[in-house]
Amino acid sequence: MKKHFCKTAAKPEKFYVRYSKPEDAEKIIKFYMDNQHHNVRMRVEKMLTDRIDDGDVVLIENEKGDIVGSSVVYPLMGKDEHGKEVVKWQEIGTLRIIKNGYFGMFNILISAQVMRTMLVEPPEERFVAKINPAVWPMAEKIGATRWAPTQEVIDSATSTKIPVPGSGDPAENWLQVTREAMPQVARSMLHVIENPMLKHKNFKENGEQIEISFEKIDFIAKFKKEIADLAKKDFGDPNQADPKQTLKDVQRRWMKRNLR
């Protein structure tokens, strides 16, 4: 008599999203050195270590603590209408993922980056990023739109990077995340919080999926309701961004409502 056995699916591996701490510097630098990519420009080390110290690096780690994804936000300086040097833009850069094939990792890094920076150091104007055109469909899901940078932006961003001859046109393939996109960014983050299983692109064939956890990020637990409230709002069409409506306005209203 034949016996039939049901194959039990393996427990999905768990990955943790968190922000950097000063003691992560060596580990993060090694991650970028070991996983260099022609589309990911290396940054001046002092610039990177300052960002690590300030918690401006978003990490995705496996259960052993190995980094599988990372991105960094870089404050880009410019002059405001009064001629004062300010953080005019925040550049989301050095985005590198080595756990490939899982839809959603790109948006996790971007949304986690934007939400925190909006609270602690919002730019005067917008979030910006220079990206590989292949990721446009993912970027559009969080409300990012195509954007032509000014020479001031290009010069400021270039000052953070290690020079590489023949690295391409610095003015090509930029995106922006404006005030109008913030509800969509919040929806993207909320979706993963509430649906933490990410399926591999070949899930139908291999059945592979992983679990994403935000349990190491304190502000998610503290402000989940507020993130959900932001996700319900409508700030207008990201493709028709109003330059007079700044991200600092969103931050000020958020802080006034929630820090009581």
Contact 48, 83 (CB under 8 A): no
The residue type of 131 is I
Nearest-angstrom CA–CA distance, 49 and 16: 21
Domain segments of the chain: what residues? 13-255
Nearest-angstrom CA–CA distance, 72 and 60: 12
13-255, what's its fold?
Aminopeptidase (3.40.630)
| pLDDT confidence tier of residue 4, bands split at 50, 70 and 90 | very low
Query: Measured on CA atoms in the order 220, 222, 224, 227, is the torsion positive or negative?
Result: negative
Nearest-angstrom CA–CA distance, 194 and 176: 26
Residue 202: predicted pLDDT: 87
163: three-class secondary structure by DSSP: coil
Q: Is the pLDDT of residue 1 over 60?
A: no
Which of 132, 122, 179, 174 minimizes the C-alpha distance to 153? 174
Nearest-angstrom CA–CA distance, 131 and 93: 8
Strands (DSSP E) found in the chain: 13-19, 57-61, 67-79, 85-97, 126-130, 145-147, 174-177, 197-199, 209-213
Query: Measured on CA atoms in the order 161, 167, 169, 139, is the torsion positive or negative?
Result: negative
Q: What is the pLDDT of residues 179-197, one digit of tens each?
A: 999 999 999 999 999 999 9
| pLDDT confidence tier of residue 245, bands split at 50, 70 and 90 | confident
Contact 142, 110 (CB under 8 A): yes
